[in-house]
Chains A and B, each alone.
Chain A
Amino acid sequence: MGYPHKPHPRETVVLSEHFGAAEARSLDGWKTRGGYQALQQALGMEPTAIQQVVKDSGLRGRGGAGFPTGLKWSFMKLGDGKPHYLCCNADESEPGTFKDREIMRWTPHALIEGCAIGAYAIGAEDCYIYIRGEFTEPLEVMERACAEARAAGVTGPNAMGSGKTVNVWVHKGAGAYICGEETALMNSLEGKRGNPRIKPPFPAVAGLFGMPTTINNVETLAAVPHILNKGAEWYKKLSRPDNPKSTGTKLWSVCGNITRPGNYEVQMGFPFGEFLQDLCGGAPNGRKIKAVIPGGSSVPIITWEEAESALMDYEGMVAANTMLGSAGCIVIDDAQSMPKVIARLARFYAHESCAQCTQCREGTAWTTKILERIVAGDGTAEDFDTLLSIADNMTGKTICVLSDSCATPVVSGLQRWKHEFEALITRTTIHAVPALVG
């Protein structure tokens, strides 16, 4: 199967409409597809009016937290005499998530347009798109598109002839997961080590370079031009009318033990069971789906039974004991060992912990060591209590949520698949403490 796939009839293609169309990457190609009309319109509006349209649309942050975008923009105090900044979080590193990558690869101008509108709406003249270091192709595409837009006067000191300055810059990260945390991203942009900052102060008060800053995900900003073009009501009607809290469409990255992996754009509130079975083709080789991590590796792992009846929106995922997160869906079939999966996830967090907070620095590594020991057949029954106790110490006590994210799969996994862990325990007593290694 080619990639990207031909959209399934039940998909609602808005952001992904032009995925796969190479000519949409160019400025001309984008303009013939209706590009930059929204920006032209926005630059003639009052920033607060743009904020209102986005508020009315119900658009919420697509990076994971799901904070209402229009409300976030309204936190920026317009006319305070300070430079404002917009940061676009393109440090897409959440395991299982690769939707922003496709937006940048295929529709770079959609993102640039969204960034320019967003920057104007919050009183910023500069927007920085912070791209994950490993994203070499998206970086190239984005850089080319940014240069093209600037050369054509779409962005720059007199954006689209409006007399207003809107600069969109691309910045390459160095490949650290933690730099996707908004304050770490700002530190990294400033040239510092990518450590999350203590909040308060919140970015809207003191963010990038100490100035009021808003930070939005790629998918969030890419949705803004569509909302301005077609209106808030249109956007709201894209999703199920029975849940006005989650509106529009959502891109889902699906990977793991699934027949048709890839990015899918469906309306908010789409039935998860049908999505996985019908659109994605279920588990390959006649296997059964055992577990699903719906929103990127940081959300609780749920069983197929929980996932089957879930609705794919912010509230629906909470009702299914998990979270929408970044909608990076990892599917695990019944041939997999859950302890092994969870140990691998923990290892990722241990590797990526920024080392600031004690519980995260030590806890992620400790958790990993215990899990890997269990997987190696060297676990003991007391390890479960220790794991849960460490997880408790790692939850809600640190500067950012990386620590919590490591604890989440451990706790949710132990709750649901304890028997798989127990099956690996062969010892009844504590083994000897290993000697200090050099």
Chain B
Amino acid sequence: MADTPKVNLTIEGRPISVPPGTNLIEAAKQAGVLIPHYCYHPGLPVAGVCRMCLVEVEKAPKLAPACATAVAEGQVVHVHSEKARDARKGVLEMLLINHPLDCPICDQSGECELQDYTYQEGRADSRYREPKRFNPVEDFGGDVLYVPNRCILCTRCVRFMGDVAHDEVLNVSERGDRAFIGKFEGKDLTHAWAANVVDLCPVGALLSKDFLNKARAWELDRTASVCTGCSQGCNIIVETRDNVVMRFRPRSNESVNQFFMCDEGRLGYREFNRPTRLEVPSILGPKGHEAVDWDVALEAAARLLRGKRAYVVASPDTSNETLHLLGRLMRKSNGVGLYRVPQGPEAPLPGAPDLALRVDRAANGRGAEALGFTRSDTPFSGLKAGDALILVDQDVTGADLAAVGQASAVIVLASWMPAGLPRAEVVLPIATTVEEEGTLTNLRGRVQRFMQAKAAPGLARPSWFVASDLLGATGESAAYFTAGDVFAAMSAAHEAFAGLSYDTLGMRGLPIAGAMAGATA
């Protein structure tokens, strides 16, 4: 890489060296300068239509669109010269003349680039004295609503559907100021990745029907996480308000999901808001389940495990950390660990490399495998009489539960009581993925961190914490104070995770040993 020739230029007085072919917007980003833009998006082909990114390049006769101008040796670029600012001011004024200026009732308000740049450098008043254009709101199908009056015709949505989703649904209809985003006859935004147009829209023209009028952007807390919808492991942002998950949005990661996430994963946030959570530990007593203190419940569980073979059935959404600790429990008693992977149809995003809603609808199957668990469609069938079953899953629908009766005891670690489970001696409430910290290993072996986005209800505790306490209660040494401690212990114990730590993983993750780094299908 060191031999790759670089182009040297100056942007806003800052010298920068970038690879040839880089456009001025990207070069400026590296120099720490934001060139305002609307139609340009790094995940889409360049359109050059909004004319917002006009910059002054010394010795060039006209202002240059930064998105469509490649760097050149010795170039001197002025982003905030009077000429460039005047041009942008002109564009902003033009964008607003037919805009309804309805920020107070617009979902995009607070995260709107039209709002941001107008406040930053637009005119304070309007010189427009004519009637405004009006077009009615249109349902685009899927989760998408189109508000044409707010549209700035940047065509990001058209390009996404055509060039990335390869499903030509949207177009620019009509000409001049009558133009609007239209749908081709008989087509709807039903593509499995269509809702990305809502994120791509820089203004409030394309809105999520699901999120409509639910929250203001400034009320939301944002946390980096990983989608647990399938084995792709798309990087996401969990947005919460008052301890409720309001929506998931994609977080860019070039090695995993570019800038996108699928609609199924996006709506997966609802899972985490389901009511009837397990909030307190309980043990089965003479009068049924009784709520008890954590110490009591853990002690009871440890007693039930004593001298028994641990038979662990874990959800493949469980974090690497928790699975590592459960693995210790299982090995200590020569037990076994199994996981069952729910499946669904695959839905690729053709314009992005190696990106799809995967058949395996589980986030950490690869991690479970690396940590000594065995995949099985009938995980309970191997239960032998006298085995102590540890179930770490809230969903056992359709599983082969008949064998559960053979177990000496059933210890459940779950966020919701698994429906249909015939018995449980000890129930330990755990946090969900959005309520704890940990890592997941995606299908290409990339280990990625997720952060705690909200508090767990009642006495529920992070799953790694409960697994570690359970291990301690059985007499093992398991003094972990953070998920990071568990991860460190795991990387020391497992070859696959050797050399990895929370610090080195960062926010974009790293592949486990033996995984093809940046593998593309």
Contact = CB atoms under 8 A, between A and B. Distances in A.
Given A393-B87, A393-B90, A436-B134, A359 B174 contact: no
A386 B129 CA distance: 11
Interface in B132-189: 132, 134, 152-153, 155, 171-172, 174-179
A397 to B, nearest CB: 6
A352 B179 CA distance: 11
A358 B49 contact: yes
Contacts of A437: 131-132, 134
A363 to B, nearest CB: 6
A194 to B, nearest CB: 10
B71 to A, nearest CB: 14
B131 A357 contact: no
B131 A352 contact: no
Given A397-B62, A397-B63, A359 B51 contact: yes
B51 A362 contact: no
Interface string B114-131: 000000000000011111
B94 A363 contact: yes
Interface string A409-438: 000000000000000000000110111111
A198 B68 contact: yes
B50 interface: yes
Contacts of A351: 175-176
Contact of B46 (A198, A354, A397, A433): A198
A187 to B, nearest CB: 12
A206 interface: no
Interface in A45-87: none
Nearest to B171: A193
Contact of B134 (A361, A386, A438): A438
B97 interface: yes
Contact of A362 (B62, B94, B171, B175): B94
A369 interface: yes
Q: Size band of the A side of the interface?
A: 35 or more
A350 interface: yes
Nearest to A437: B131
A211 interface: no
A204 B129 CA distance: 44
B132 A355 contact: no
A355 B176 contact: yes
A373 to B, nearest CB: 7
A370 interface: yes
A399 interface: yes
A396 interface: yes
A433 B132 CA distance: 10
Contact of A361 (B48, B54, B62, B179): B179
Interface of B is mostly: loop
A115 interface: no
A193 B54 CA distance: 25
Nearest to B38: A358
Contact of A393 (B46, B47, B94, B176): B94
A188 interface: no
A198 B65 contact: yes
A386 to B, nearest CB: 5
B48 A358 contact: no
B94 A355 contact: no
A366 B128 contact: yes
A191 to B, nearest CB: 12
B68 A355 contact: no
Interface in B402-436: none
Interface in A340-370: 350-359, 361-366, 369-370
A434 B131 contact: yes
Given A398-B51, A438-B134, A365 B91 contact: no
19 contacts: A350-B177, A352-B175, A354-B175, A355-B176, A355-B177, A355-B179, A356-B47, A358-B95, A358-B152, A361-B94, A361-B176, A362-B97, A364-B177, A365-B176, A366-B130, A386-B127, A392-B90, A433-B129, A438-B134
Interface of B: 46-52, 54, 62-63, 65, 68, 87, 90-91, 93-95, 97-98, 100, 127-132, 134, 152-153, 155, 171-172, 174-179
Given A358-B50, A359-B91, 12 more contacts: A193-B171, A198-B65, A355-B153, A359-B51, A362-B94, A362-B98, A366-B128, A386-B127, A389-B90, A389-B127, A393-B90, A434-B130
Interface of A: 176, 178, 193, 198, 350-359, 361-366, 369-370, 373, 382, 386, 389, 392-393, 396-399, 430-431, 433-438
